Structure 1
Amino acid sequence: MSLTSDPRTAGRGDDRPWQVPSWVDPVVARATGVIGGPLGRYAVVGGRGLAGVAAALTLTGSLVLGLGVWQKGHCLMKGWSTPDQFWRACYSDLPVVHVSSPLAERSLPWAGEGAATGTAPLPGAVMWLLAQVSPRAGDGLAAQQWVFTLWALVSVVLVGLAVLALVSLAPGRPWQAAHLAASPVLALLALVSTDLLGVSLLLLGLWAWHRERSWTAGVLLGLSCLVRPFPVLVLAAIVIVAWRRGRLLPALQTVVGAVLGALLVILPLVTIQPEALSAAQQWWGQPAGYGALQMVPRLVGVTVPTVLTTAVAATGWLLALALGVLLSAPGRPGGGRGVVQLSALMLLVVALTASSLSVQSGLWVLPFLALSALPWSRHLLWALAESLVFLTTWLHIAFASDPGRGLPGDAYALAVVLRAVAWSWVLWEVARVDRTAAQRPVPTATPDRTASPSRSASTTGDTCSSTTSRSDRT
């Protein structure tokens, strides 16, 4: 019998919180073979409600992060040295920047010998805090190990917060949060940089917006923008959707809150060390960087003026905003897109025209996958392309030290193009999916014997009814 006609799901709707993916997703059903297979017909799932789902997914995310630590185990034991860290694909910004910048002396990283001038404000502040907490200072292996370990522990907390936000945002399909917690991309990329902090802040900001807490949403999104500029697109989508639906005031409050949230970090840093804004200053006039389509001409031997690279990237942002306004028009097909779907389309345009799209940028796609109703088969195909770029980027960087072992430019260019195709495909799928599929309210049918106790039905029913009244916000 096919999964789509499973009697456990017949007549109940496909979106009850206790309906686990192994009943409806063929990929998940096959993957559960390692733990005994899909749950049986009479299994009681959801007895602990959404809290149980969040706890299970947080534990899953912790295990995935553990795999990430294992994947970087060589560097953790031997140190992050060049080119060994590239051959072993275990590079991480945190220990490398720590020992090569003033962070080794527990100072802010943007000024002095070995200044980390390309570090964004919030990541730099976080790495400085880790340096203060670490019991070992200096530029030795022990200091690297402590900083990396501390970030791994912080990452567990961040994944837990992200899962809670995702489950609250889509209580009709809480197991969709596994697209973040259980993603192989999380294992590869979460410990490369502090981008997971920005992703978690983005999701908490969306949760606050969904709960009609505009000022809180703005502050959280503003802090997220200090990690990467991608959340600016979410802010833009919030304003566009609110404008189209005649609720512009809450959106403007969110934008003001975002500015205040960003200033809350930037002003103290700039007061102490004006170089903290060096990352924004370096964005202008930089050649195309790793992972970006704009780097492909240089990889195959074609010289592109730096000013043209910057102009294309800036034009991409303007096009993304214009596309958001155009596609949100009520009279157009898909004009009822929510914030997530509109943000996905704008992110696609920015990613394709970016001057740099580092390996850890893939983390920013995970929230869109988790907030959509995409099956795992599509997620894994995208993750395969992301993993390919993860490996080939390090091999291409190491090509300079040993051309016989490294990856030449033309081969790396192919991997970058494949990644761009994968991003285009998966983000377009997110944008075209039914925007209510991930938030469909739970039907109030009489529970059958495959359902959880009555308290689960009442609890989740109340949660989902509140989701219905606010579903237009996401």
Structure 2
Amino acid sequence: MLVPRERTRRDVPYVVPSWSDPVVARLTGVLGGPVGRYAVIGARGLTGVAAALVALGATMLALGVWQKGHCLLKGWNTPDQFWRACYSDLPVVHVSSVLAQRQLPWAAEVPSTQPPLSGLAMWVVAQVSPRAGQDVAAQQWVFVLWTLAAVVLLAAAVLAVVALQPRRPWQAAHLAVSPVVATLALVSTDLLGVSLMLLGLWAWQRDHPWPAGILLGVALLVRPFPLVVVVAVVLVARRRGDLLAGAQVLVGAVLGALAVLVPLVLVEPRALAPLRDWWVQGAGYGALQMVPRLMGTPLPTTATTVVAVAGWVVAVGVAVRVSSRRRRRHRHAAPLPGVVQLSALMMLVVVLTAPSLSVQSGLWLLPWLALSARPWWEHLVWAFVETLHFVTTWLHIAFATDPGRGLPPETYALVVALRSAAWAWVLWRVWDEPDRLSPRPAVRPAGAAHRPAAAAATPPPTV
């Protein structure tokens, strides 16, 4: 009987999740079980991993369509869309604004509250839709067209994560097959911003600071979360002594945002209304700042804005201090934090002080899970809380329609607090681990046969 030789890290080109993650090992039972000890790993290179994850991501989006099937068949009507938890910005904003007439959503007497890039994306969908108007057919076309776009956007995001982590490409599954993709990806256009942010990170890793900055700047026009990545990139570049690259990313982000905003404002000046309204908005759904309002003592609007701005200032200040620390010169010294760690730390502070944290904001946490090495059990715990918040938000909104069926404010406040704790826990775990983004891919050529190791060895962390 032949005894397999002792296998080492060099036997496999990347980490195999079913060898290293017990949750994945158990869940793979429906696919035939964990990868066998004599399996050939990496025969198709990263292409095979990426293709599998893109297909799985498309499957999750198909589940998202199924989850919103009632509204897709009957239309997005209030309060039915809340009881059925099938709300989506795309068809709702389409029929409740001048998008139904194929105009920009801010052109009405009361401008839309959609961010600039989100509103522009909805306008493009309205232009290519074969059906205008406010009927159910128009809603269906808008939703279906955005679903097709979401497949492309999710595929681009998955490819970016695989390229960013060639030694741990299956970590992109945290983005492709996350349970929250099925519930959140089709609620809004946030997937566009997530994809642009990940592509910007990929450009930065490939030493292309100008495209990185431009992509991150455009992503900022969906949500402000990419700003933490811009700051983290600049701080890491400063620490490495590459001030020019950091400046290029910062200037590129400004130019990228202006390249979209300037033509848009020239055509429709009220497109900036959502950005101006940020300073005067009260606490919104999902944020800790909303808890006092739910308990009957709302915070003043000024206080909400001050807390939010202070949160950003504190987040940047903490990141500057942490990134300025010098590495201790001994063998067991922890590596200095990289882009993923610094941005996760800033994200933690920003999330806890945000004026609002809508249900679709959960999509923005997936890149940090995918770019770190957090185990799947942590992801699933967070995803459970996120899904709980997803359902309870609609039930709370519908409470005004039917208090007997809806969720009262006090109960929703508990869910919001639980969700904030789950976000803080996950982001802290990401911050508390070594950065694993490698500057260059280290994968053997496609077609090379590899024998698996008895247990997947973790590659040494790089900064």
- State the TM-score, normalizing by the size of structure 2: 0.92
Query: Could you tell me which residue of structure 1 aligns to residue 235 of structure 2?
Result: 240
1:299 to 294, 312, 321: 294
Query: Could you tell me which residue of structure 2 aligns to residue 41 of structure 1?
Result: 37
Q: Is the 8 A contact 1:244 1:329 kept in 2?
A: yes
Deviation sequence 1:325-348 (CA, Å, 0-9, x none): 111122378671001110000001
Q: How many angstroms apart in 2 are the aligned matches of 1:20 and 1:8?
A: 19
2:87 aligned with 1:94: no
Q: How many angstroms apart in 1 are the aligned matches of 2:248 and 2:354?
A: 29
- Do the aligned partners of residues 439 and 418 (structure 1) sit closer, same or farther apart at CA in structure 2, a change above 3 Å counting? farther
Cα deviation, residue 40, structure 1: 1.9
- Do the aligned partners of residues 24 and 81 (structure 1) sit closer, same or farther apart at CA in structure 2, a change above 3 Å counting? same
Q: Is the 8 A contact 2:11 2:450 kept in 1?
A: no
Q: How many angstroms apart in 2 are the aligned matches of 1:435 and 1:372?
A: 7
Other structure's SS at 1:399 match = helix
Q: Is the 8 A contact 2:371 2:437 kept in 1?
A: no
Q: Is the 8 A contact 1:17 1:174 kept in 2?
A: no
1:281 to 269, 273, 276: 276
Q: Which has the higher contact order (CA 8 A, sep 6+)?
A: 2
2:184 aligned with 1:189: yes
- Do the aligned partners of residues 209 and 437 (structure 1) sit closer, same or farther apart at CA in structure 2, a change above 3 Å counting? closer
Q: Is the 8 A contact 1:104 1:131 kept in 2?
A: yes
Q: How many angstroms apart in 2 are the aligned matches of 1:132 and 1:95?
A: 14
Other structure's SS at 1:427 match = helix
Deviation sequence 1:125-184 (CA, Å, 0-9, x none): 110000000000001100100010011100110111111111111000000000000100
Q: How many angstroms apart in 2 are the aligned matches of 1:353 and 1:334?
A: 29
Cα deviation, residue 112, structure 1: 1.4
Q: How many angstroms apart in 2 are the aligned matches of 1:323 and 1:73?
A: 45
Q: How many angstroms apart in 2 are the aligned matches of 1:264 and 1:195?
A: 20
The one-letter code sitting in structure 2 at the alignment partner of 1:181 is A
Cα deviation, residue 442, structure 1: 5.2
2:448 aligned with 1:454: yes
Cα deviation, residue 124, structure 1: 0.6
Segment drifting more, 195-204 vs 34-43: 34-43
Q: Is the 8 A contact 2:172 2:370 kept in 1?
A: yes
Q: Is the 8 A contact 1:8 1:41 kept in 2?
A: no
Deviation sequence 1:22-57 (CA, Å, 0-9, x none): 122111111111122122222223211001110100
The one-letter code sitting in structure 2 at the alignment partner of 1:340 is V
1:219 to 214, 219, 224: 214
Deviation sequence 1:86-116 (CA, Å, 0-9, x none): 0000000000000010100000000215631
- Do the aligned partners of residues 244 and 408 (structure 1) sit closer, same or farther apart at CA in structure 2, a change above 3 Å counting? same
- Do the aligned partners of residues 329 and 281 (structure 1) sit closer, same or farther apart at CA in structure 2, a change above 3 Å counting? same
2:324 aligned with 1:329: yes
The one-letter code sitting in structure 1 at the alignment partner of 2:132 is A
Segment drifting more, 106-115 vs 308-317: 106-115
Q: Is the 8 A contact 2:53 2:158 kept in 1?
A: yes
Deviation sequence 1:268-288 (CA, Å, 0-9, x none): 110010010111111011110
Q: Is the 8 A contact 1:104 1:137 kept in 2?
A: yes
Segment drifting more, 43-52 vs 231-240: 43-52
- Do the aligned partners of residues 101 and 351 (structure 1) sit closer, same or farther apart at CA in structure 2, a change above 3 Å counting? same
Deviation sequence 1:199-234 (CA, Å, 0-9, x none): 000000000000000100011001100000111111
Q: How many angstroms apart in 2 are the aligned matches of 1:93 and 1:14?
A: 48
2:81 to 85, 104, 108: 85
The one-letter code sitting in structure 2 at the alignment partner of 1:244 is R
Other structure's SS at 2:9 match = coil
- State the TM-score, normalizing by the size of structure 1: 0.90
Deviation sequence 1:324-380 (CA, Å, 0-9, x none): 011112237867100111000000100000000001111111001000011101110
Other structure's SS at 1:357 match = coil
Cα deviation, residue 407, structure 1: 0.3
Q: Superposition RMSD on alpha carbons, in Å?
A: 2.4
1:271 to 237, 259, 266: 266
Segment drifting more, 373-382 vs 39-48: 39-48
- Do the aligned partners of residues 15 and 169 (structure 1) sit closer, same or farther apart at CA in structure 2, a change above 3 Å counting? farther
Other structure's SS at 1:331 match = coil
Give the length in aligned residue pairs: 449
Query: Could you tell me which residue of structure 2 aligns to residue 460 of structure 1?
Result: none
- 5+ unaligned residues in a row in structure 2: which ranges? 328-332, 452-458
Cα deviation, residue 260, structure 1: 1.0
Cα deviation, residue 20, structure 1: 2.7
Query: Could you tell me which residue of structure 2 aligns to residue 362 of structure 1?
Result: 362
Query: Could you tell me which residue of structure 2 aligns to residue 4 of structure 1?
Result: none
- Do the aligned partners of residues 74 and 10 (structure 1) sit closer, same or farther apart at CA in structure 2, a change above 3 Å counting? farther
Segment drifting more, 434-443 vs 281-290: 434-443
2:65 to 58, 66, 69: 69
TM alignment of 1:318-397, pairs within 5 A: 318-331=313-326, 336-397=336-397
Query: Could you tell me which residue of structure 1 aligns to residue 455 of structure 2?
Result: none
Q: How many angstroms apart in 2 are the aligned matches of 1:417 and 1:440?
A: 40
Deviation sequence 1:398-425 (CA, Å, 0-9, x none): 0000000000011001101111111111
Cα deviation, residue 14, structure 1: 9.0
